[in-house]
Structure formats: C-alpha cells, structure tokens
Structure 1
Amino acid sequence: MRRPLAWLLIATLVLLSTAQAQPAGAPLSYQGKTVLVTGSTDGLGRELARALAADGAHVIVHGRNAERGQAVVDEITRAGKGSAKFYAADFSSMQAVRDFADTIAKDYPKLNLLVNNAGVAFTGNQPRHASADGHELQFAVNYLAGWVLVNKLRPNLAAAAPSRIVNVASGSAAPIDFDDVMLEKPGAHARGYGQSKLAQVSMTVELAPAFARQGITMISLHPATMMDTTMVRSLGMAPRTSVDEGRDHVMSLIRSPTLEPGAFYLDGKPAEPMDPQPNDAGARAKLVALSAELTGVPFL
C-alpha cells in the first residue's frame, strides 16, 4: 500500500511520541490505564479483557448480557490485578451504540485504548438478518458500531495520547457494492461478513492520518483464522486455531512499542488487505459519507 510523504511524517511523529513515554523497544504497559474492549463477555474479547487487566489496566467490559458481563468483572476482581466495570449495550441498534459511547465519554474523560472486537457472523446458507434500524446486521454490528465509537470517543482518546484504536477485522474480505450495501439482492447476503470486515479496514486507512495528528494510532488486524469461539461453532464450522492464539497475536500488537497508523496487520506485521478496495480513495470517501449518514455521527 503506497503511503504519501505527509502521511509517513505523521506516522513518524506518533512513533516518536510513543517512544518518549517508555524505554525504546520495551513493550507498552497498561498499568493504571483505561481500556475499552467491545464484545468482551465471551471469546477473544473476554480473553483480551483478562489479559489487559492482568497488565494492571482498568477494563471497560462490554456486552449484551449483564450476567456474563458481571462474571468477567468478578473474575478480574478475584485475580487481584487491574479492575473492571461492565456496561451493557446492544450494538444492533445505532441509538444504543450512540448512548453507550456518550456514557463512556462522560464516565472516562481519558481513554488509552479502544478495541473494536464485537461482532456477529452468518453463513450464506442462513437468511439475511436486519437490525432494528433496517441495516444488514453484520454491517451494523461489525462495522457501523465501530464507526460510532471511534468518532464519538476521539476526544477521550486524544486526551490520553499517545493512545490506540485496534479494529479487529479479518482475512475474510468482500468489496462493498455501494448500489447494494445492505445486501438485498438475491444471494448477496452471503458476502455480509466479508463486507463488514473490509469496511473496518477501509475505515482504518481513511481515518488514521487525522487521528494520528492527535496522537491516536489506529490499526486493523486479522487475529487468527477460525478461532474456537462460540461464534465459529454456531456457524457449524470446525475451529482451526485457539482463542489463546488470537489473544496472543492481538496482545502482541496492543503492547508493541511501535505500530504503523492505518495499517492492516496480518501475522504480526503490516500486509495488503485481502481485497484492494481499501486502497481506493474514492471508495473510502463513499464509505465515510455513507457511515455518517447511517449513524448520524460524522467524521470531523
């Protein structure tokens, strides 16, 4: 992926500011820092929440189920390192996501790390699912919710700079058909998961330079292939990797002393997305306009 000179200068400034905060080459510590991990009551998100708390962080645990959320908080509390608090929100509703973001922004003026991990997945053999707002459900939960959070929590992340946003995307990728974003054409819904994940990658490429100017490093990544999670098992697919493998990969990037803003990470290093659409400035501009329209949250 070609990077313009100005963009690379911004990345260099971010890396320098991060280096000033700790010894060169040392892994980042989240001791005493505040982190938000969405979808952290199960699977990869739960393991990331536990790992960050073990590092001494205060973890904002998010999910839909209050009982499971409190169980994660109680587990972290019993471990005696870090701390946690649970917030419930159903990301299939844009109003619920906006309200959640407003609550987090009010309760935590400084946010050191946002991990957009919450997601849903369906196979092409299943029917098309729509959200309460009428959006294709995977696009709403996997992508639009993250759009709302990065933009509404941007001041809080800037207040804690140098800070980070990690968008948990996927190697699965399908380009956005801007004439049928909600996948209403016959059979189009089979592309839903890949479309939502590639949208995360495109958003990261487009927004990262502006966020970097405020000391916020945003990346996207593929955690691991077909982890042994509830989501994968519900699809009737055989897991190919463990949740621990995904956790270790994501945590290695979260703790990495340097990251390339806007990059898509695969196997621990920047890589080309699985589809070229994120490299298309025109497509990214269309996505930004569409995202602002669908969520009521602009990119400023």
Structure 2
Amino acid sequence: MTPGVAGASVRTYLADLADLDQVHATAARVRAAEPRLDALVNNAVADGGAEPLRRELSTQGHELRFAVNHLAPYALVRDLLPLLTASAPARVVNVASIGQEAIDFDNVMLERDYEGLRAYCRSKLAMITAAFELAAELQDSGVTVNTLHPAHLMDTDGVRAYGLTPVTSVEEGVRPTVRLLLDPDLEATTGRYFDQFTEARTHDQAYDTGARKRLMELTHRLLGQDVSGST
C-alpha cells in the first residue's frame, strides 16, 4: 500500500497479461482484498512490436496480441463482475484504437500472413466487439462498458519501437479516457465506441451479428468459460 493524493492510498496488483492464469489469480486477489470496485480501465497493450514479422505466443499458446489485448481484459472483466456489480454504478473502459482490421476466423491466430500491426489491429477490433456484447449483457446491472480510441500515435515506447513517429502526447489520450470514467453525463452510456471525445462508428465487422457470435464463442472456449462466464 502506497500513500496517495489527498489521503488516498494505492494498492498494486502485478500480473503478466500474457498468462491467463496470472490474470485469473490477480482478479481473485482483488476480489478478496477490495470491498468495492467502481471502475476498471483496460489499458495494457501488446503493440505491433519492434520485430513485426516475428510471431509471438502467450503462455497458453495463443497469438500474443490477441491474448493480451482481447482475451486478458475480457477475462479480467468477467472475473471481476461480481465486485463490479456489487459496487454499481460502476464503469468499464477499454482503451482500444482507431487501428482496426476485420478478424479472419479461419486464421484468428495469424499462423499465416503474420505481421505485428495486423495482429494488433485485429485484437483491438476483438476488444471493441466483445465490449459491445458485454454491454448488452449487463444492460440492467448498473455496470457500463465502453471503448475508445484515446489519441493518434501517442508518445509511447510501443509507437517508437514499431518505428512510427509520435504526434500526440500521452496526456492528450488520458483526458478522453478519464471523461468516460468520471463524466456524470455518461453514467448511463454503455456499449459505445468513442474517437477521443466523440461517439463514432467502429469497423463494420463489430456490427455483424454472425461475426460477433463467432468471436464470443471462440473467446469463451479459449477462456474455458460457459456463456454465463463461469470457469
């Protein structure tokens, strides 16, 4: 426990999001230790990579970007739902990206035609699509779920490692993220995608009911969950 601002305290829980066992264990620790959870921001990311043609795998053998950017945050939300719903109203904010590409369900793990940025863009669309589904499921629970593109090419290690030139500051991406977290006018807003401060339309595949069903069936299977989220 670390002293924080204005008498608050910060408790840190560490996990490798490339290992779903650690994700589940961390969620269990949070549930055991915390009396309430008002908000969850899924911001950790595996980006395009410094070696974008080198395909990497998670601990469970899934394509790394799909695992870290989609499976891990979805698993974390699922595991923390009892605490979130008990704390309602509560908010889940997924930090996604304007970089999106349709998922090829015959090549989800990119065993063919691998490229790091392609993997990243597909994983971010998976994150957005799953958030839409989760928001619909939780419609009457008091827990909202939204996603956003925070800012374009922020000045991060990942952007630089891929060889891109940053054009915005991290602070510029923080502001729209915090707005989704705290703005009282958005208390009932759920199942939306925002481009910074503006509600926007995401990739067409996210609105395809067949693709959404396939993604969620795959996600639950990979996580060992039934449709109720049980493991």
Give your verdict on TM over 0.5. yes
Q: Is the 8 A contact 1:226 1:240 kept in 2?
A: yes
| 2: CA distance, partners of 1:248 / 1:261 | 18
What's 1:116 paired with?
42
Aligned length: 225
Residue 192 of structure 2 is aligned with which of 249, 260, 263? 263
What is the Cα deviation at residue 189 of structure 1?
4.9
- Opposite residue 39 of structure 2, the aligned amino acid is L
| Structure 2, gaps ≥5 residues long | none
Q: Is the 8 A contact 1:151 1:297 kept in 2?
A: no
Question: Which secondary structure does the structure 2 equivalent of 1:144 belong to?
Answer: helix
The reply on whether 1:195 has 2:122 as its aligned counterpart is yes
| 2: CA distance, partners of 1:255 / 1:78 | 19
| 1: CA distance, partners of 2:227 / 2:78 | 6
What is the Cα deviation at residue 298 of structure 1?
3.6
What's 1:48 paired with?
none
| 2: CA distance, partners of 1:97 / 1:240 | 32
- Opposite residue 195 of structure 2, the aligned amino acid is L
| 2: CA distance, partners of 1:276 / 1:251 | 26
Q: Which has the larger radius of gyration?
A: 1
| 2: CA distance, partners of 1:209 / 1:229 | 33
Q: Is the 8 A contact 2:52 2:115 kept in 1?
A: no
RMSD: 1.7
Question: Which secondary structure does the structure 2 equivalent of 1:248 belong to?
Answer: helix
Question: Which secondary structure does the structure 2 equivalent of 1:157 belong to?
Answer: helix
What is the Cα deviation at residue 269 of structure 1?
2.3
Tell me: CA distance 1:190–1:79, structure 2 relative to 1, closer, same or farther (3 Å): closer
Residue 85 of structure 1 is aligned with which of 3, 7, 11? 11
What is the Cα deviation at residue 255 of structure 1?
1.4
The reply on whether 1:249 has 2:187 as its aligned counterpart is no
The reply on whether 1:101 has 2:30 as its aligned counterpart is no
Residue 292 of structure 1 is aligned with which of 197, 220, 231? 220
Question: Which secondary structure does the structure 1 equivalent of 2:82 belong to?
Answer: helix
Aligned runs of 1:213-232 on 2, under 5 Å?
213-232=140-159
What's 1:280 paired with?
208
Find runs of 4+ consecutive structure 1 residues off by over 3 angstroms.
78-81, 123-126, 187-190
What is the Cα deviation at residue 80 of structure 1?
4.0
What's 2:135 paired with?
208
Tell me: CA distance 1:299–1:222, structure 2 relative to 1, closer, same or farther (3 Å): farther
Aligned runs of 1:58-207 on 2, under 5 Å?
74=2, 77=3, 79-123=5-49, 125-187=52-114, 189-207=116-134
| 1: CA distance, partners of 2:70 / 2:7 | 32
What's 1:240 paired with?
167
How many percent identity over aligned positions?
39
| 1: CA distance, partners of 2:67 / 2:4 | 35
TM-score (norm 2): 0.91
| 2: CA distance, partners of 1:298 / 1:232 | 36
- Opposite residue 16 of structure 2, the aligned amino acid is D
What's 1:7 paired with?
none
Question: Which secondary structure does the structure 2 equivalent of 1:88 belong to?
Answer: coil
Question: Which secondary structure does the structure 2 equivalent of 1:92 belong to?
Answer: coil
| 2: CA distance, partners of 1:109 / 1:286 | 35
| 2: CA distance, partners of 1:228 / 1:285 | 35
What is the Cα deviation at residue 241 of structure 1?
0.5
Q: Is the 8 A contact 1:204 1:262 kept in 2?
A: yes
Q: Is the 8 A contact 2:37 2:90 kept in 1?
A: yes
What is the Cα deviation at residue 78 of structure 1?
5.8
Aligned runs of 1:15-30 on 2, under 5 Å?
none
What is the Cα deviation at residue 277 of structure 1?
0.6
